[in-house]
């Protein structure tokens, strides 16, 4: 039987190599080369505190968020993130005593935030967690995800054990301890499944099929239990570290973090006026976050109908309801020869800008919009994403303030898929836009073509040349 998940995808999850950027490379005038890791030395680990509890594709690293928070907001300000993903902006806002509104299409956000932004004031007890884990091994409850294809992804004996463990945890009022075990089970689910756990997207691989076959000849359940205990205890330690880190503010009013997963950020209501936007939109050719996390969603109790409905709203599967035009985007569009790539480009910029605009319209006058993006390639053509967004929004009441380039010195790249961009992206960019104090957004924004206007943006780094990739 052909696995539909193995179809070739145009993604930016690259092959299993590493690259280093050349020190001799130069940048264009007006683009400031920085290292956010060096600018924020107080964060020496991207997974510190609760950031690493959940696996999620293309995470927003906390150093960038912290820099934007420190530079463009003040304590008690409200931040909005319409592409909240794994909740990095929410965690950093809470730690920095800012409030936040988090929106995302993925329902996983509703499960991530209550654990990553743990509101308890007391340290958790390791003995209580172990007692719950011990009881789980003796459980006779059963829970099987409402997933018609679940048996395709698991060996029968492994599925039976996982179903018992989830059955127990779903029938136990263990509060935060149950949530800790669920977060660990999600990682165990993938590790002991047939999916290639070295890549975000679900895909059965020959390597993994062979690995599970060999595992079943060993004491696999003991290994599964050891992993589950280890991950659960590690998460408990992360939460206790989070409690200790925030205890100094216990006598103060706690920041408010509002979140809503399972909503289309293009149209979801932002419930209040905000002081800044800090976000990282999905990559141009890797936007299938729901399909990448649907195994988690099924085990967390969501149905095929829910997941399919939201998956249809992911960018590769929805049509553009307007055509965005800017000088740079039009040049890219004119060079594409494939109709499917035209449609994907139009869909991406339509729905990405719709979501950004929906949130940015709720920002106060002179507020900053901090948008972190890469410059991907489509059909070998480099797409200066930050420049296209800057061109669009400077025609719609925003002032271009600055763009930072963060050079990626090394990156571990994935290898179990065909890829249109095998070298990955060598830089990522933090675009800063400032809302004009006198601008009043219209009820319905329209795309515009930049013509006959002085360009306040830095000159393009290079012509839009085709790459050999």
CB distance 293 to 135 below 8 Å: no
| 331/343 Cα distance (integer angstroms) | 15
In this prediction, residue 440 carries a pLDDT of 65
Which residues 6+ apart lie within 8 Å of 233 measured at CB?
126, 129, 130
Rounded mean pLDDT, 341-347: 92
At 159-181, the pLDDT tens digits run 999 999 999 999 998 799 999 99
Mean pLDDT value across the chain:
85
How many other CB atoms are there within 10 angstroms of residue 86's CB atom?
Answer: 26
Rounded mean pLDDT, 310-326: 90
In this prediction, residue 268 carries a pLDDT of 93
| 204/195 Cα distance (integer angstroms) | 4
Instruction: Give the pLDDT band (50/70/90) at residue 457.
Output: confident
At 183-201, the pLDDT tens digits run 999 999 999 999 988 777 8
How many other CB atoms are there within 10 angstroms of residue 396's CB atom?
Answer: 19
Instruction: Give the pLDDT band (50/70/90) at residue 81.
Output: very high
In this prediction, residue 287 carries a pLDDT of 64
At 243-289, the pLDDT tens digits run 999 987 667 788 999 999 999 999 999 999 999 999 999 988 666 88
User: What tokens appear for 83 in the block?
Assistant: 């592409």
Question: In order of start, what are the domains of the chain with their CATH numbers?
Answer: 4-118+256-285+311-435 (3.40.50.150), 126-245 (no CATH)
More confident residue, 456 or 276: 276
Please determine, for residue 327, whether its predicted confidence score (pLDDT) is greater than 80: yes
In this prediction, residue 11 carries a pLDDT of 29
| 213/156 Cα distance (integer angstroms) | 12
Rounded mean pLDDT, 91-106: 97
Distances (CA, A) of 335 to 75, 449, 464, 466: 46, 17, 9, 9
Lowest mean pLDDT among 234-243, 352-361, 408-417, 424-433: 408-417
For the chain, what is the largest distance between any 2 Cα atoms, rounded to a whole number of angstroms? 73
Phi, psi (degrees; rounded to nearest 5) at 224: -60, -45
Query: ∠399-405-410 over CA atoms, to 5°?
Result: 155
| 285/12 Cα distance (integer angstroms) | 6
CB distance 114 to 134 below 8 Å: no
């Amino acid at each position: 039987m052909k696995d539909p998940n193995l179809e070739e995808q145009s993604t930016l999850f690259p092959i299993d190599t590493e690259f280093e950027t050349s020190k001799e490379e130069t940048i264009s005038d007006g683009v400031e080369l920085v290292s956010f890791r060096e600018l924020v030395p107080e964060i020496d680990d991207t997974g510190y505190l609760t950031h690493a509890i959940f696996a999620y594709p293309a995470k927003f690293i906390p150093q960038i968020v912290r820099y934007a928070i420190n530079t463009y907001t003040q304590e008690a300000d409200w931040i909005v993130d319409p592409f909240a993903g794994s909740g990095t902006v929410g965690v950093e806002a809470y730690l920095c005593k800012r409030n936040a509104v988090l929106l995302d299409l993925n329902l996983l956000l509703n499960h991530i935030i209550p654990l990553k932004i743990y509101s308890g004031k007391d340290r958790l007890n390791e003995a209580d967690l172990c007692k719950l884990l011990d009881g789980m091994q003796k459980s006779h409850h059963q829970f099987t995800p409402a997933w018609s294809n679940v048996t395709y992804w698991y060996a029968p004996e492994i599925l039976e054990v996982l179903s018992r463990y989830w059955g127990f945890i779903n029938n136990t009022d263990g509060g935060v301890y149950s949530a800790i075990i669920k977060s660990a089970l999600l990682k165990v689910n993938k590790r002991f499944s047939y999916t290639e756990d070295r890549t975000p997207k679900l895909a059965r691989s020959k390597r993994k099929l062979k690995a599970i076959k060999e595992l079943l000849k060993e004491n696999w359940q003991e290994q599964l239990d050891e992993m589950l205990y280890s991950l659960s205890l590690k998460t408990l330690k992360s939460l206790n570290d989070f409690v200790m880190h925030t205890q100094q503010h216990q006598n103060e009013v706690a920041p408010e973090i509002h979140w809503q997963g399972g909503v289309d950020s293009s149209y979801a209501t932002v419930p209040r006026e905000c002081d800044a936007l800090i976000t990282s939109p999905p990559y141009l050719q890797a936007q299938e976050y729901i399909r990448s996390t649907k195994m988690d969603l099924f085990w967390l109790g969501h149905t095929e109908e829910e997941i399919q409905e939201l998956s249809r709203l992911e960018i590769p599967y929805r049509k553009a309801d307007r055509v965005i035009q800017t000088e740079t985007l039009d040049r890219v569009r004119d060079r594409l020869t494939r109709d499917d790539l035209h449609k994907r480009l139009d869909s991406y910029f339509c729905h990405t800008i719709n979501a950004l605009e929906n949130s940015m319209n709720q920002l106060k006058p002179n507020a900053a919009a901090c948008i972190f993006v890469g410059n991907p390639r489509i059909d070998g053509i480099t797409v200066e994403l930050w420049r296209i967004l800057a061109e669009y929004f400077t025609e719609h009441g925003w002032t271009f303030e600055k763009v930072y380039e963060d050079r990626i010195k090394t990156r571990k790249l994935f290898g179990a898929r065909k890829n249109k961009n095998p070298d990955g992206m060598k830089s990522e960019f933090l675009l800063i836009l400032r809302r004009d104090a006198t601008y009043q957004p219209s009820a319905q924004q329209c795309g515009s073509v930049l013509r006959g206007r002085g360009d306040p943006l830095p000159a393009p780094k290079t012509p839009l040349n085709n790459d050999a990739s």
